[in-house]
Amino acid sequence: MLTSTTAVLQDKIVEQYLGVISAEVILGANVFRDFSAGIRDFFGGRSGSYEQVFEKAKTEALREIIQKAEDLGGNGVIGIAYNFSNVGSNGSMLMVAISGTAVRIRD
């Protein structure tokens, strides 16, 4: 499955545009991550635990749109765009939304 953030693929021919597809993944961070991230925020530095949650959400969202493209008979997703936000009453949940165009590419 070819995936790309660009709408045009060099040296590839899009035979058919199958439609816009999207997926949303919302993952919660537990209280220990929140505590650890609060300390990192105060003293500075990266929060490895939140980075892991973030990477997991991106991977799952991409996997979902790939599955949707395959379900439509596609072998590619082009024009992929990600959107990220915090959700929940205290903003402790991470939402990753992804969209793109499912296509059939000539091999």
Share of the chain above pLDDT 90, in %: 55
* Per-residue pLDDT, 44: 57
Q: How far apart are CA 94 and CA 60, in angstroms?
A: 13
pLDDT in tens, 28-55: 765 444 544 554 454 555 656 677 878 8
b/e for 30-50, b at 16 or more Cβ within 10 A?
eeebeebbeeeeeeeeebebb
Report the pLDDT averaged over residues 5-12: 92
* Per-residue pLDDT, 59: 95
pLDDT in tens, 81-90: 999 988 876 6
Q: Which of 103, 65, 104, 60 is nearest to 81 (CA)?
A: 65
Q: Is 2-105 a domain of CATH 3.40.50.2300?
A: no
Task: Characterize the bridge pairing of strands 2-3 and 93-105.
Answer: unpaired
Statement: residue 107 has pLDDT above 80 = no
With tokens 């500075």, the residue in question is 44
Domain segments of the chain as ranges: 2-105
